[in-house]
A and B are shown apart, each in its own frame.
Chain A
Amino acid sequence: MNIDSIQNGYVIDHIQAGESFNIYNYLNLGELDTQVAIIKNAKSKKSGRKDIIKIDEITDINLDILGYLDSNITVNKIVNGKIANKYHPKLPEKLVNIIKCKNPRCITSIEQELPHICELTDRENKVYRCKYCEEKVN
């Protein structure tokens, strides 16, 4: 199966097989007007199978969350048909509505439509804490 290469945009590679739809949703890619390709179960030398997402436009989309979701993911920024930048996204400083605080004593358990905000407090050990009650959330 062939999917055209892109001229300007992003290739999100090495997604764990089967996870591409979740990533698509976390990144709100459904809201983009541009072409987006989801490739499931592509062959991978490393892991046998992987998923790939291609976005056919350079947008200001925040890809930092990928660093939290799967540290194996690589992002290739394509400019004029060539890889301009290839990187593993870093852990984001803040996660909004990605992890829910499970502390029953936290205000998030009762306050209407309060966003669940978690902040990175220990990058080395990948520790996020709830912004409100400061409990560990992961």
Chain B
Amino acid sequence: MKHLIDIKDLSTDEINELISVAKDIMSNPDKYAEKCKRKKLATLFYEPSTRTRLSFEAAMMELGGNVLGFSDATSSSVSKGESVSDTVKVVSGYADIIAMRHPKEGAPLVASLKSEIPIINAGDGGHNHPTQTLTDLLTIQCEKHRLNDLTIGVCGDLKFGRTVHSLIVAMSRYKNIKFVLISPKELEIPEYIKKDVLEKNNIEYIETNDIEEYMGKLDILYMTRVQKERFFNEEEYIRLKDSYILDKQKLENAKEDLCIMHPLPRVNEISVEVDDDKRACYFKQAKYGKYIRMALILKLLEIK
């Protein structure tokens, strides 16, 4: 039985296979409409994440399956003090697959050690969020038609932004990838990502605090939110949150086929005026998320 806890759990071949299945689902949705008939997905969300939960639920519904679960810890037995291990053992008897979101890092791994059914990590604190990374990879593949030979700008909170860390780790598998790391000094990428991932894999990267400096070189611009919950000090959050707002003016020198991505939700780091630009891919990206989750559910349930 396979789980998805960390994007590193998947080989490059497996990722490519998921992308291929997701693209086939997009082209032939009817073929997959009953693939998960009588199967149940349990969404165990110990902290609210409406977007991710709805994406998983929509994915299972489009495969003809059913969903059950809870959307925050106060409405579940965890409010009575039940452990993650006990909860998944119980839910293993009710569902066929679990998508778990938890504020504590490592909770889905603990769940996978006790569960009798596949576990999908739907985000564990600031740690991993592998289905977001798969979504990003599918988006890049669909929009750029390749995963090699790309210059990727990542902008915003690179210190706490787990989606950025996972994206860098995932893209390090592919050939001729370059990164432009755009952030204020306070939110620079951690040393261990530079040392253990970028330098270890001989990936070229540039660090800058100017969003426009390398704009013309980018194939992809991955914007991220400066997340309030990652700060201990509100003043610091207020000071930094507006540092890098993408608007039409900053895009003046950008390539015609730039792909602008964002894991969403957006606060104000991309001006609404950019939404109508053909290079804005972030809402499509959210839609791709549903298809890659469909592909993942099929894979983990071993349904062809």
Binding site for B on A (CB under 8 A): 103, 105-112, 114, 130-135
A103, A106, A130, A133, most chain B CB atoms within 10 A:
A133
Q: Using known A-B contacts A111-B84, A133-B127, determine if residue A105 contacts B110 with beta carbons closer than 8 Å.
A: no
- Please name all residues of chain B whose beta carbon is closer than 8 Å to the beta carbon of A130 when the two chains form the complex: 106
- Please name all residues of chain A whose beta carbon is closer than 8 Å to the beta carbon of B84 when the two chains form the complex: 107, 111
> B102 in the interface, Cβ–Cβ < 8 Å?
yes
The residue that A110 contacts in the complex, of B104, B109, B124, B126, with Cβ under 8 A, is B104
Q: Give min CB distance, A69 to chain B, whole Å.
A: 25
Q: Using known A-B contacts A105-B125, A105-B126, determine if residue A132 contacts B105 with beta carbons closer than 8 Å.
A: yes
Complex: chain A residue closest to B83, CB-CB = A112
A-B contact pairs, 25 of them (CB 8 A): A103-B105, A105-B103, A105-B104, A105-B105, A106-B105, A107-B84, A107-B104, A107-B105, A107-B107, A107-B109, A107-B124, A108-B106, A109-B104, A110-B104, A112-B83, A114-B110, A132-B105, A132-B107, A132-B109, A132-B110, A133-B105, A133-B127, A134-B105, A134-B127, A135-B105
Complex CA–CA separation, A130 to B85 (angstroms): 18
Binding site for A on B (CB under 8 A): 83-85, 102-107, 109-110, 124-127
Contact A107 B110 (CB under 8 A): yes
Top 8 A-B residue pairs of the complex, sorted by shortest distance between their CB atoms: A132-B106, A133-B105, A107-B106, A107-B104, A107-B107, A133-B106, A112-B83, A105-B125
Q: Give min CB distance, B117 to chain A, whole Å.
A: 19
Contact A106 B110 (CB under 8 A): no
- Please name all residues of chain B whose beta carbon is closer than 8 Å to the beta carbon of A103 when the two chains form the complex: 105
Complex: chain B residue closest to A103, CB-CB = B105
